[in-house]
Amino acid sequence: MAEQSVLTCLAEQLAQALQADERRVLLGEDVRDGGMLGLSRVAVADEQLADRIVATPLAPATTFVHAAGMAMAGLRPIVLLPSAAALIEGFAGLAEASRVDASTAGERQAPMVILAPCGPGFGLGGDNAATLEVALTALPGLRVISCGDASRVCATVAQALAADGPTVVLLARTALLCTAEVGGEPSEDLLVPQELHTGAQATVFSWGPALANTQQAVADARNAGFDVGLVDVVSLAPLAVDALVAAAATSGKLVIAHGGGRLQGLGAELAAVFADHAILHLDAPVTRVTGTPGPWPRTGEQAAVPSVEAIREAIDKVVNY
């Protein structure tokens, strides 16, 4: 496998998706110019794809409803957003798209995919580092995937493109800025929780923008002699309850690390899942570690995710409980 920029991999992947399926349509504010992150630049260079690259106005709600209409008509649109913040601007349209299946008693589906960079990493300030998971996962019918591992971004997006129904893929900016080994087809379903390490003393659950710091904290703990596991939750809606509970049962001591403040992430819901389904396996209170509540100053976007030190302290706390 060759090492490649994640952004380059995604740009090539989107062009290949359009070339392989005439139903694919690419939408976004600046996709005709290559996109803010250059994700449409390869597709734009192919003249045969020109009619299926559609520039949309600065109105996310309109874009989402337009994409849903295309999907219901038999197309498979891909929407590129410059930032996940646009999901809030277009929330009403996203809500309409997500209820297509339910409102038609299953007669219609809206197989559309929205790619949205999120979290700190581009120096865009606190607003762009915000965590929107709670709002998105509250929409019935919307699948929400969060990817924070650079080595799995392209494969995760490929599997999301094959899914039915409206899907939002939240792409951690820290992962997009990386280079990673790419190539080959994934041998497993990447849209479910990924157990990156197993451990008998503690298990850490994380996802998206917080994953990079969590991986470093777990690596530090393991190097110090702690037998600590790590699970990338990946699917935020729906939560893969059985897989998550099975992972929790391996150690009985759990840490949940996520971006945003304590009220802004899904840590509380995940803790409730463990209380409901894994209570007999727990040997310590579930410990949550998050970013600061915000708002964050323009130069303080990293406060949106928990630090390596804070996660490491949480691991020490549950191991020694």
Fill in the DSSP letter of residue 60. Answer: H
Q: Measuring CA to CA, how many Å separate 183 from each of 12, 152, 179, 186, 246?
A: 12, 10, 13, 9, 30
- CATH code for the part of the protein at 195-319: 3.40.50.920
pLDDT band at 315 (very low <50, low <70, confident <90, very high): very high
pLDDT, tens digit, 9 for 90 and up, residues 129-142: 777 899 999 999 99
pLDDT mean over 265-293: 94
- pLDDT at residue 261 greater than cutoff 90: no
DSSP line for 179-204: EEEE-S--SS-TTS-EEEE--SSEEE
User: Each residue of 32-75: pLDDT tens digit?
Assistant: 999 989 999 999 999 999 999 999 988 999 999 999 999 999 99
More confident residue, 163 or 76: 76
Say what the pLDDT of residue 245 is.
Answer: 97
| Per-residue pLDDT, 260 | 87
Contact 15, 9 (CB under 8 A): no
For residue 235, give the 3-state DSSP assignment.
Answer: strand
pLDDT for res 127:
64
Identify the helix (H) or strand (E) that includes residue 268: helix 267-277
Q: Report d(CA 191, CA 237) in Å as an integer.
A: 10
Q: Among 62-71, 237-246, 292-301, where is mean pLDDT lowest?
A: 292-301
Q: Where are the domains of the chain?
A: 2-182, 195-319
- Contacts of 246 by beta carbon, 8 Å cutoff, 6+ apart: none
Q: What is the DSSP code string of 163-175?
A: SSS-EEEEEEHHH
Mean pLDDT of 217-241: 97
238, 143 contact by CB (below 8 A): yes
C-alpha pair distances (Å), 175 with each of 6, 119, 245, 273, 294: 8, 10, 27, 28, 22
- Round to whole Å and give the CA distance between 116 and 144: 11
User: Among 179-183, 254-258, 261-265, 315-319, which stretch is predicted with the lowest mean pLDDT?
Assistant: 179-183
Please give the average per-residue pLDDT across 292-311, as a whole number: 86
- Does the predicted model carry a pTM greater than 0.85? yes
Digit-coded pLDDT (tens) for 179-220: 877 655 666 798 999 999 999 999 999 999 999 999 999 999
For domain 2-182, the CATH class is alpha beta
Predicted confidence at residue 24, as pLDDT, reads: 98
Task: Output the average pLDDT for the chain.
Answer: 92
Q: Name residue 170's beta-bridge partners.
A: 116, 146
Check for a shared fold between 2-182 and 195-319. yes
Nearest C-alpha neighbor of 98 from the set 237, 241, 267: 237
